[in-house]
Structure 1
């Protein structure tokens, strides 16, 4: 069975009443839960969640983790831009509270309202219709809230299209991807991934849309074989970093996150614009942004979270992919990013992320944050919008 791994880091899911999986072995700061549901005998999504418990949560809690002002400062982003741009998010299942929760997030951080009524927000099913929507799912609901909040943090003036697949089957996610990419979006973010598999070229066609930047999370498993769809040559693979405030010229330090996905594809040939030495095939990732759940990102989500509904603290490459999509919208022209090639050309306009590791590879660039290109963080993280 193809098991799609969703790069969700959902704040305190166990303490919020969601089921734990027997055998999960949490460390002292983060926990892993993977409630998998067999939808059919076809390839079925396998939700992966990391979550923090050492934080306050709830509607009246003080948001913990970075907010939009922090991210704008860390990545030297302009406070305005992106008007007329639409960023699409593809997820499985429905979060019935998505629009209301997005409103709370944006109000908390002084961002302009983004609603169905004012034309900024739109939610559709995988066929592009407003109804019927898929069944609700609390785990994917946290993913949806995270995605919407990260696009908002990067590009408050962008419109947001949320496309919800009926199920996490690859066929349904592919249909949702086609809807997202043909609905006027300049960038589409996908915070999920799977082991590469024989026949994945059939699903690859859903991620090929001229004039639209397609992004995918590199995953939260550290250094291992590259994942699909991030491993596709035309998809911008987004890795993850640890971002911390510092007393230096930038005001921040940034290193490779210890769980950021990186690896060498077993199926996809190396693109002509990628020249790293120790992987003869496509290497993941291309670019990166904050993903570490400590201190994490402040996210507002209420669906299915019971008495703990409200502010949660999350992270993962599920955060970095929609954030980078928002930066593309902020820059105003996603049509020139139909693959990652121009990011490599404009690497001098990115922060070079040096330091940190996501596994053991003999200190090689495939798992270590080194000067220039490295697999966990690609060619770097945003330094303004010049590279985008």
Structure 2
């Protein structure tokens, strides 16, 4: 007897899914090309605990974010998804970017506000510093004049009211200097505020719209096309710690009722599902290597198969879906054992995330003549012996 299930052509363990955290136009990057210098700067903003008052790196990132024409490292998803290709990605590699018009508008506006404020304040600072220099020179001269007046006052040559008037002049100069310095501080505060706003908008864009590899690994699958509109929550790609595009073990799902009859070591036949039909051209064979005894929810299946749409589909197809693993058979050359002579033909059909209809042989039905003696022995039944033939005695 056979039990039917669905297998997904991905490694059975280690998959990580990347989901969009915002909406917009998707840009996919070629892992064979080196990222431009501004990309590591963008990622460093996420790791910094506080704003660097030096705006050089921040301006570089902001200007490149607003210049979408600078994206020249685009990739072909079909190239990534082909099982004959492998693409190693280092930690920090920019897998994708989403051009969200709302986030982009924030960056553009805050960049413009900061640059205008900074340039205006630079002119103001120059004017205010000149004023401070003028007031300081005047203050020095008036202070020297007061010192001379105090000497004359000791000789009764200058009246007390004149001294007080001079002291008032000096106090007024000091107040003017303090007022100008306060204006300088306010200008610096205004510039810092605009810088903080720019920093916040850039970090928000980088955090929600740029997707980096968290660790060294491999880009397994991309699930959309460059320049496609992608809504928030949609899956962008799947990464894996393994470079295998032809995995030894793949996940399989049965209904919980059927899974109860499946055991490790049972033989499995896998037929590739193409469109609405099952292709007999690509059939793999293997054995069940592991079977869970408890059902999996959609989130658990998502972690197993690497794709939320596929997990949702399996959840809708099977009552209490239960996951397991199938180890695919290989020949001496390391190729999959298939039912077709040309084993390389397999790779003309299969891509990551493809599904297979699985038939697991759970028991064998014996012919009745082989089963009957066992039943008789178990039930304690014995066949009625034939009557002996009576042969006439010779007279």
TM-score, normalisation: structure 1 = 0.22
Structure number with the bigger relative contact order (C-alpha 8 A, sep ≥ 6) is: 2
Larger Rg computed on CA atoms: 2
